[in-house]
Amino acid sequence: MRILFTLIAFLFIINSSFAQSEDEITLRQIFDNVLESDVAYNNLAYLCHETPGRLLGSDESIAAIDYMKSYFETLGADSVFLQEFKTPAWKCRSTAVSIIKKDKKIRLRADALGPSPATTDEGIIANVIEVQGLEELKKLGEEAVSGKIVFYNRPVNRKLVNTFRVYGSAIDQRYYGPALAAELGAVGVLVRSVSTRTDTFPHTGSTQFEEKKIPCAAISTVDADILSQHIKENKDLQLSIRIDAEDLPEITSYNLIADIKGSEFPEEYIVVGGHIDAWFNSPGAHDDGIGCVQSADVLRIFKELGLKNKRTIRAIMFMDEELYQSGGNAYAQYSEINNIKNYIALEADAGGFTPEGFTVDASDSIYSIISGFKGLLEPYGIHYIKKGGSGVDINPLKKSGVPLMGYRTDSQRYMDIHHSAWDSFDKVSIRELQLGSGCMAGILFLVDKYGY
């Protein structure tokens, strides 16, 4: 009996070694392919140069969708379609902020926060009050705040190593600050850009209003320092804010979906995606044009290498991650209504920098299987597969029990460019981009092959 068990164990080891060798060969083929390809890079060039500022509801957002739709059709995806949905939208045409001096105006570099209301054509002129955060503003109270422009000027905590935590150290001022100021009677808000750099680029983003809305904008970190110095010199300093923007009550928009049909379980969908929209002030290279072209590249890799996926590989270009997250919610509703079985979903929205790992939001048993793939992907830059969050667009699928994953990169440069004009195509390394495509295709190949 002992001899029989020994033989069985030996055969298991031999078979496991053979299977691993097959996987290693396939992964090497994937990375050989991506590192010699410039398809995703060229797709990104188009999105950045021809469709910058592709915020929900803009002509650029539709042009980007049309371009990627044509790409998928040319690629030969088994199905390519637009998933239509209705959503409110917001449009910004211009932002102007100035310090008012007796003899001149000093222009500050600013971009409106979404969805800031417009001012009149003449703009708002009022005294400014500087605070270091929401708690300080609350302590000042309505009497001190009413009728003024509030300037939130707390910088990010640069001592933190993880730049998403750096971002989190000051994001409350942008996201909740305007609503609180409005509640206390302020007539406008300026926010120091949430950025890891000291530069002249305003970094915009979304803000959350309750009922009352007031004009609000982000100013660059350099301009925030300039404004703060002027306030120190003149406590009665006045500012002018002029914003040309409008709410669009309801528009029709789309997620773009492309599939490569599975050979054994075509009704099970392995979703990979990024968000096609970008802020009005940005080419949207790393946020998140790269996530879109990498997701599209996963389909190209499967097709070109003939990987014979068991399950349907579905790439989604989500619309509107930035403003109202309507695209991700729309796909979750579409899935529920049509009984779509999303087997697993992977989102890429951490920039196209050097690969670092994957985060997994799933049961312990599923996580155990996925984390077991780390050794195969380590040669290509994947240093961890750990429990954690996934992405804004796929998060609504969580309530249906769909296992979720996030692709993670070295984020040290991400908040330098985030939501700004500096997030441009020239900040992209083709090798970093392509390594990301390979890592995403590699882990989905393994998930599809072994299942959970």
> Would you put residue 156 in left (φ > 0), alpha (ψ -120 to 50) or beta?
beta
100 strand-pairing partners: 105, 238
pLDDT at residue 103 in the model: 79
Cα separation of 48 and 278, whole Å? 10
Pairwise CA distance, residues 383 & 445, whole Å: 18
- Total H helices, total E strands in the chain: 14, 14
Which of 278, 322, 281 has the alpha carbon at shortest distance from 115? 322
Count the neighbouring beta carbons within 10 Å of the beta carbon of residue 84.
Answer: 11
The rounded mean pLDDT for the chain is 95
> Which of 117, 118, 104, 108 has the alpha carbon at shortest distance from 153?
108
Among candidates 99, 122, 100, which has minimal Cα distance to 109? 99
Q: For the domain with range 92-245, which CATH number is right: 3.40.50.300, 3.40.50.800, 3.50.30.30, 3.40.605.10?
A: 3.50.30.30
Q: What's residue 303's pLDDT? A: 98
What pLDDT score does 20 carry? 67
Structure tokens at 179: 């609503």
d(CA 319, CA 271): 15
Is 3.30.2180.10 the CATH number for 29-78+261-450?
no
User: Residue 102's pLDDT is what?
Assistant: 85
Parts of the chain with a pLDDT under 50: 1-2, 4-16
Determine how β-strand 188-192 pairs with β-strand 216-219: parallel
C-alpha atoms less than 13 angstroms from C-alpha of 258 in its C-beta half-sphere: 27
What ranges do the domains of the chain cover? 29-78+261-450, 92-245
Q: Spell 341-369 as b/e; 16+ CB within 10 A means b.
A: ebbbbbbbbbbbbbbbbbbbbbeeebbeb
Domains 29-78+261-450 and 92-245 share a fold: no
Write down the pTM of the prediction. 0.93
pLDDT for position 1: 47
List the one residue out of 70, 445, 24, 73 whose CA is nearest residue 270.
Answer: 445
pLDDT the model gives residue 211? 86
How far from 312 is each of 122, 255, 266, 412, 445, CA to CA, in Å?
A: 55, 18, 5, 34, 11
At a CB cut-off of 8 Å and minimum separation 6, what does 33 contact? 301, 304, 305, 438
Per-residue pLDDT, 210: 86
Residue 71, token pair as written in the block: 């790409």
Report yes or no: 184 and 141 within 8 Å, Cβ to Cβ: yes
Q: What would the pLDDT profile of 359-410 be if each residue is shown by its tens digit?
A: 999 999 999 999 999 999 999 999 999 999 999 999 999 999 999 999 999 9
Residues 6 or more apart whose Cβ sits within 8 Å of residue 207: 113, 114, 115, 116, 174, 175, 176, 177, 178, 179, 216
Contact between residue 241 and residue 149 where contact means Cβ atoms under 8 Å apart = yes
